[in-house]
Amino acid sequence: MTQTLRFKQSSHLDPALSDPATRTLNADKLIGRWVNTNSETQGIAEIVIQRDGEEFCVSAAGVGADCPIAWPPTRARVLANLEEEAGQRAVALAATFEFGFMTAETYLRINKGVLVIVLFSTFRDGSGRSNYVNREFYYRQQ
């Protein structure tokens, strides 16, 4: 029996979305310790991505005034990637870090061997700081 799929755009009907292999395609390319390509960054210095079966966990270290600030490990959502990027298609991750005074929503993907992180920060502390978006690049620490 065939199922009628509901959709809001044609890509919702892509047969690859029903292929279990799509869920974890090249996921291992994300695993490891990633270091910011910008040695002068004042943002996230490094990212660690770990995998346990089909689950992924992301932790980070922000640049602090005196020493790195550990961001707590957060479970990431795995997202199939329907794009072809230089023939290196791999899953992407979405992870939300909750700090109380601030929420950081991130998505992480691989592009040509570089980990690209886009971070949307939302402040909830009435400090007057603007919510902001930032993008940084990371290389794999061997």
Q: How many C-beta atoms lie closer than 10 Å to residue 23's C-beta?
A: 13
How many Å apart are CA 79 and CA 84, to the nearest integer?
14
Beta bridge partners of 106: 95, 119
* Nearer residue to other proteins within complex by CB, 88 or 134: 134
Q: Is 59 in the site for other proteins (CB under 8 A)?
A: no
Q: Is 121 in the site for other proteins (CB under 8 A)?
A: yes
* Nearer residue to other proteins within complex by CB, 28 or 77: 77
Q: Is 133 in the site for other proteins (CB under 8 A)?
A: yes
How many Å apart are CA 27 and CA 54, to the nearest integer?
9
Q: Is 17 in the site for other proteins (CB under 8 A)?
A: yes
**Binding residue (CB under 8 A) for other proteins from 39, 112, 135, 142:** 135
Give per-residue burial for 61-96: e unless 16+ CB within 10 Å, then b.
bbeeeeeeeebeebebebebbeeeeeeebbbbbbbe
Q: Name the site residues for other proteins (rule: CB under 8 A).
A: 3, 5-14, 17-18, 20, 22-23, 41-44, 62-65, 69, 71, 77-83, 92, 94, 97, 99, 101-102, 104-105, 107, 109, 118, 120-123, 125, 127-135
